[in-house]
Structure 1
Amino acid sequence: MEKINTVVWKLDNIQSGLDLERFKDRLRFINEELTKFETIIISKKVFENELIILSKMIKQIESAESLYYCLTTEDVDQNLLSILIEDISSLKSKVRVILSILQVNLFNMSEEQFDNWSNCINQKTFLSEIVKVRERLSKVDKTISSESLNYLAGTYRQIKIDLKVRDIYGRREKEISFSKANYLAFNHPDPTKRISVFEELNQTLETRANRFASIYNQMVSLRIKEVEKNVSMLDESLKLNGISKQILNAMWEVLDTNLTEFSSYIRVKSEELGKDKLSWYQLMSSTYEVYPPINFSEAINGIAKSLGNINSNISDFVNDAIKNGWVDAEPRNTKQPGGFCAPFLAEGESRISLSYFDTIDSARRLAHELGHAWHYQQMKDAPSLCFTDDFFEMTMAETASIFFETVYIDYVIQSTNVLSVKKTYLKSNIQRCLNYLMNIRGAFLFEEKFYELRKNGELDAVQIEQLSIECQDQAYGNSLSEYEPFVWIKYEHFYQADTPFYNYPYIFGFLFSIGIVEIAKSDGLFNKKFQEFLSETGVMPLNQLVKKHFNIDLSKPDFWQGSINKLSNDIQEYIELQKKGF
């Protein structure tokens, strides 16, 4: 097995790298060019050459935004980062204003003038994109709202970065970061240490709960004002994610039908620990027993081999991503929990950030982010007048990533001959599944109800905490003894500036990925279908793409139940191993 050390990414060959002065100069240049473009577009017709220039500027802004996210993990002045993201947000707003002017100009043309103009445009996608740009994006209040949301999201991140949690376990009391405390609370091998840090972390969050409540209330209020009357934020989210309420309800129906099956695993875990019921924390803690360590080299080789069994191109891609410095797996206090993949579509590259800790969960997360990078690699870097986040549905985004982690985890389980170790990995996989289907479902229920309640006024920290607990209880089928009061603070996704209802796309991607993994095992044409499916991201709504490439009707419960059956089989295998004393 090839030895690979935990790596740090290469940023110096992307945009301005760590040179922040060059970064600021680049943003100023783009702003000046957009100002010139806006002057031109107001005074005369623009033709294909000008539209191509605008398309290239959009790509540059997207790459700048990705570089910003990479810089958030480095030792960089947070105040400067806040200024940079505000500048990037302003550039995106300026582009949308320019597109709205284009729309008005086209609307004011006669039919003959429009035909003459459009006949001069060879890049026909430009025409459809201009028409598709939603008029509400060009409104002044949208611009103000976007900037305000980015400011609030940045404030949330800064408060979390500044948090200091007491670590009273050991000889000397010390202070640790939120990120480190959150990791130790769930992964330290000593259960006494885990519980100690978890309790201290929650006590720290309780002292700041009112501040977090204020931020979340403001963000939701801004979003509610953005949508049209009689249209819910969820309806808007579903439209942007390319699925219907019927599809979402079919998925929820299957989950509710199988709650008893999921709870059977929780009951077994409770019996193992000699308890009537587990708490949320006890269920989510990953180290009841120590998992066999998986170092970075083993993870990369396992990911490459497991996915190579489906498509050899993916295996080569994974190895090349490491060799070319796309991945930063070094644990640092500047990193938030979890990970991300930042695309640089114009450059044909990506950058992945996570903290790797030689665990099965770290290996799974690495596979997940590599899946995102593979998806971006399939997307054509064609001229476009849209930002990627205007058409890149989260439901689609979470498909390749969870496909990668599912294939990898199945490989780890099937490659293990020692039954006690297999049981351990099965447990890890089942808990991963329950995290998607119960924990994230609870986050969806919370967000859905919060948006409705927020229309009548602000909720204070105590009310938010109670609502979160009630929604968790519903999602877990009342199978736990107590729940996590500060999920609504710990999960950064709630505070993303541009992504309300982040949650159900993960559940969709999870169940959809499991379903197509099963298809991959029997369909000799799967590789071609999957790559074409990913390459057509945004070309048509996701449900239509699924029908086109896989002939699956997502509004029918049968497909979703097939995915759940895979989890049910894992649960039954785990229970059988438990009965045999492993």
Structure 2
Amino acid sequence: MSTNTYSLTWDLEAFFKGGSESTEFSLYIEEIGSLLTTLEEQVSQFTAPKNSNDVTNLADIIENIQIVGKKLSQSGGFISCLQAQNMADQKANLLRGTLTQLFAKFSTILTTFHDQLTKVEESVWNEILNSEEFKEIAFVLNERRQKANELLSVEQEALITSLSVDGYHGWGQMYDTVVGKMEIEHNDKTLSVGQASNLFSSKDRSVRKDIFEKWEETWGNESDYFAKILNHLAGFRLSVYGQRGWNKVLKEPLAINRMSQETLDAMWGAIIDNKAPFVEYLQRKAQLLGVEKLSWYDLDAPVADVDSTVSYSEGAEFILEQFKQFGDELTDFTKMAFEDSWIEAEDRAGKRPGGFCTGFPESNQSRIFMTYSGTPSNVSTLAHELGHAFHSYAMKDVHTLNKSYAMNVAETASTFAEMIVADAAVKNAKSDQERLALLEDKVQRSVAFYMNIHARFLFETRFYEERKNGIVSKNRINDLMEEAQKEAYCGALEEYHPHFWASKLHFYITGVPFYNFPYTFGYLFSLGIYAKALEEGKSYEQKYIALLKDTASMTVEELAQKHLGVDLTKRDFWESAVKLSLKDVEEFLSITE
């Protein structure tokens, strides 16, 4: 197979020349400031329409909200990329502070505007939503108005937003600062936490054990800071919820994800009842590794003896080849992402750990961040992030207000893309050992979604309940984490990871509360979509794109009903999706008999 050579580093100059020192970007940030001042004036003079003909000002404000929203997202994407590519970029950290203040101002303006919408009489409001001009964004406008009805007064909400800049978000940024300075020594080398985490998939158990012990120790040494940060983040949230009269911690995360408690319960119920085969997989893996029981640091250990490292360009070609079986739009889009240097994949020190995809809505582009070291799981991650980028691309012609899809459906396109590649990798394996390795990579992902994410969900739910009664000590947080892991993994492990709460960035993200269950939702939802794609072949791509376009303009229950004909509040859909992933476990158990 002829392989093109693709760049391992991304092109950020396409947006603003000069990185964090960019004059162009400084001017852009200033422009956002003045646009916000104009928008603020407009909103302060806006009064609720008395009839459906009196909507000129409403249309103007919505137009300007779109413009400012796009610019803020463009800036946020740029700064995220700068911070991720070089954690020591001090200027980028300062820019993040400036942008956080602009976002806070925007949020306050929106709160005032949405409050005005609550003053529109119900009959007039329904006329407006059904009018030609606003029909397309009716769901989002109505959602914003309903949310505004559940908030405090505009002045109180503005005060909360203003205090959150140096309070709430400040704590989140403090976490990033501490992690950015952390290093782990191994074999006379100094590793960033991102580089160290890659060693959990080493085939040498002594390496994994050594890294894990140092990993636990390193996060443990800083755990005073992390416990303080986590307590303050949760405390801030709980105070706000209390002021608003919200007594359920999951109220906000469920609303953000446009899903009901019934759907969440049905999903976890189906998973909990089907964990036994995954426990069997963990036991079999322990046998294959020659240990009585797996420890946390064995979860990512390879069971097959293959050195199948794949160069970045070979990985890219493989992804393109598999996407081609599914559809032309996805393939052409992905080729463009590789050729136009949308991806930062170089394995070097100083980068932040993990991977992400961020959008640049003004340029109709995305950028993908990861550290590629040639493992099969790196190829999966790359496909996953390309799925995210395709989701944004599929929505390029959708109204800006209909583009804010929630995290649970955000994980759908990414997981779907990953499945296409992972399935193909197993089928195309060149040897039994390689097939075993790739099959296990798929099973590991199910274990991550059904057990690791479940542990995070259990931990966070219980931590918040205890936090209601005051500060939770770091030792108690460790206990809560370990208890959640034991329950989620059905006691299948020998040694757990008590400081996982400190090392997992997701617990410290201030933009989204409960950054856990949406991953599992996205995984299972995309399994359902994947089953359809296998059934219908290439002709399914247009239906798939139609589904993606609707992801931000209806509830997930409505989305599933419209595009898949299923009821997410019932267990059937979730059961059938879980059963699809059980096939991989059955195959793994059969070939390792």
What is the aligned counterpart of 1:237 among 227, 231, 253?
253
Matched, 1:66 2:66: no
Partner of 1:222: 236
Q: Report the residue type matching 1:240 in the other structure.
A: I
CA distance in 1 between counterparts of 2:564 and 2:470 reads 45
Q: Contact (CA 8 Å) 1:254, 1:557: kept in 2 or not?
A: yes
Partner of 2:8: 7
CA distance in 2 between counterparts of 1:530 and 1:457 reads 47
Matched, 1:550 2:564: yes
Describe the shift of the 1:470–1:39 C-alpha distance in structure 2 as closer, same or farther (beyond 3 A).
same
Matched, 1:315 2:331: yes
Task: State the shift of 1:314 in Å.
Answer: 1.0
Matched, 1:432 2:445: yes
Matched, 1:23 2:37: no
CA distance in 2 between counterparts of 1:113 and 1:519 reads 42
Describe the shift of the 1:269–1:128 C-alpha distance in structure 2 as closer, same or farther (beyond 3 A).
closer
Query: What CA deviation, in whole Å up to 9, does each residue of 1:393-415 have, x standing for no partner?
Result: 11100000000111100000011
Q: How many residues align?
A: 571
CA distance in 1 between counterparts of 2:285 and 2:504 reads 25
Task: State the shift of 1:513 in Å.
Answer: 1.3
Range with bigger deviation, 510-519 or 539-548: 510-519
CA distance in 2 between counterparts of 1:483 and 1:110 reads 56
Range with bigger deviation, 28-37 or 474-483: 28-37
Q: Report the residue type matching 1:144 in the other structure.
A: S
CA distance in 2 between counterparts of 1:50 and 1:330 reads 43
Partner of 2:464: 451
CA distance in 2 between counterparts of 1:79 and 1:415 reads 45
CA distance in 2 between counterparts of 1:367 and 1:12 reads 24
Task: State the shift of 1:236 in Å.
Answer: 2.0
Task: State the shift of 1:201 in Å.
Answer: 2.2
CA distance in 2 between counterparts of 1:195 and 1:108 reads 61
Partner of 1:254: 270
Q: Contact (CA 8 Å) 1:99, 1:130: kept in 2 or not?
A: no
Q: Report the residue type matching 1:331 in the other structure.
A: D
Partner of 2:535: 522
Matched, 1:355 2:366: no
RMSD: 2.7
Aligned-partner SS, 1:432: helix
Query: What CA deviation, in whole Å up to 9, does each residue of 1:477-503 have, x standing for no partner?
Result: 111112111111111111101112111
Q: Contact (CA 8 Å) 1:371, 1:401: kept in 2 or not?
A: yes
CA distance in 1 between counterparts of 2:352 and 2:176 reads 9
Describe the shift of the 1:380–1:318 C-alpha distance in structure 2 as closer, same or farther (beyond 3 A).
closer
Describe the shift of the 1:5–1:225 C-alpha distance in structure 2 as closer, same or farther (beyond 3 A).
same
Q: Report the residue type matching 2:28 in the other structure.
A: R
Task: State the shift of 1:123 in Å.
Answer: 5.0
Report the TM-score, using the length of structure 2 for normalisation: 0.90
Aligned-partner SS, 1:219: helix
Matched, 1:293 2:293: no
What is the aligned counterpart of 1:163 among 173, 182, 187?
182
What is the aligned counterpart of 1:198 among 190, 212, 236?
212
Matched, 1:140 2:158: yes
CA distance in 2 between counterparts of 1:116 and 1:364 reads 48
Q: Report the residue type matching 1:154 in the other structure.
A: Q
Describe the shift of the 1:486–1:288 C-alpha distance in structure 2 as closer, same or farther (beyond 3 A).
farther
Aligned-partner SS, 2:222: helix
Q: Report the residue type matching 1:26 in the other structure.
A: Y
Query: What CA deviation, in whole Å up to 9, does each residue of 1:222-264 have, x standing for no partner?
Result: 1112223353221321122122111111111111111211111
Describe the shift of the 1:424–1:283 C-alpha distance in structure 2 as closer, same or farther (beyond 3 A).
same
What is the aligned counterpart of 1:150 among 159, 169, 193?
169
Range with bigger deviation, 336-345 or 226-235: 226-235
Instruction: State the percentage of identical aligned residues.
Output: 29
CA distance in 2 between counterparts of 1:352 and 1:100 reads 32
Partner of 1:175: 190
Q: Report the residue type matching 1:489 in the other structure.
A: A
Aligned-partner SS, 1:309: helix
Partner of 1:480: 493
Matched, 1:57 2:57: no
Q: Contact (CA 8 Å) 1:153, 1:495: kept in 2 or not?
A: yes
Q: Contact (CA 8 Å) 1:15, 1:64: kept in 2 or not?
A: no
Q: Report the residue type matching 1:454 in the other structure.
A: R
Describe the shift of the 1:459–1:285 C-alpha distance in structure 2 as closer, same or farther (beyond 3 A).
farther
Q: Contact (CA 8 Å) 1:181, 1:198: kept in 2 or not?
A: no
CA distance in 2 between counterparts of 1:118 and 1:472 reads 47
What is the aligned counterpart of 2:296 among 244, 265, 280?
280
Task: State the shift of 1:74 in Å.
Answer: 3.1
Query: What CA deviation, in whole Å up to 9, does each residue of 1:434-481 have, x standing for no partner?
Result: 111111111111011111111011111111111100000000111111
Describe the shift of the 1:271–1:66 C-alpha distance in structure 2 as closer, same or farther (beyond 3 A).
same
Query: What CA deviation, in whole Å up to 9, does each residue of 1:503-532 have, x standing for no partner?
Result: 111111111212221111113652222101
Range with bigger deviation, 117-126 or 62-71: 117-126
Q: Contact (CA 8 Å) 1:166, 1:176: kept in 2 or not?
A: yes
Task: State the shift of 1:108 in Å.
Answer: 6.0
Describe the shift of the 1:434–1:451 C-alpha distance in structure 2 as closer, same or farther (beyond 3 A).
same
Partner of 2:513: 500
Range with bigger deviation, 50-59 or 463-472: 50-59
Task: State the shift of 1:106 in Å.
Answer: 5.3
CA distance in 2 between counterparts of 1:570 and 1:114 reads 51
For residues 383-402 of structure 1, the aligned pairs below 5 Å read: 383-384=399-400, 391-402=404-415
Query: What CA deviation, in whole Å up to 9, does each residue of 1:185-223 have, x standing for no partner?
Result: x13454333322222222121111111000001001111
Aligned-partner SS, 1:338: coil
CA distance in 1 between counterparts of 2:482 and 2:305 reads 27
Q: Report the residue type matching 1:98 in the other structure.
A: I
Range with bigger deviation, 420-429 or 488-497: 420-429
Range with bigger deviation, 96-105 or 512-521: 96-105
Q: Contact (CA 8 Å) 1:427, 1:574: kept in 2 or not?
A: yes
Partner of 1:83: 94
Task: State the shift of 1:131 in Å.
Answer: 5.1
Partner of 2:53: none
Aligned-partner SS, 1:248: helix
Report the TM-score, using the length of structure 1 for normalisation: 0.91
Matched, 1:422 2:435: yes
CA distance in 2 between counterparts of 1:294 and 1:410 reads 17
Q: Give ranges in structure 2 of 5+ residues lacking alignment.
A: 48-56
Aligned-partner SS, 1:493: helix
CA distance in 2 between counterparts of 1:232 and 1:187 reads 39
Task: State the shift of 1:144 in Å.
Answer: 3.3
Partner of 1:376: 392
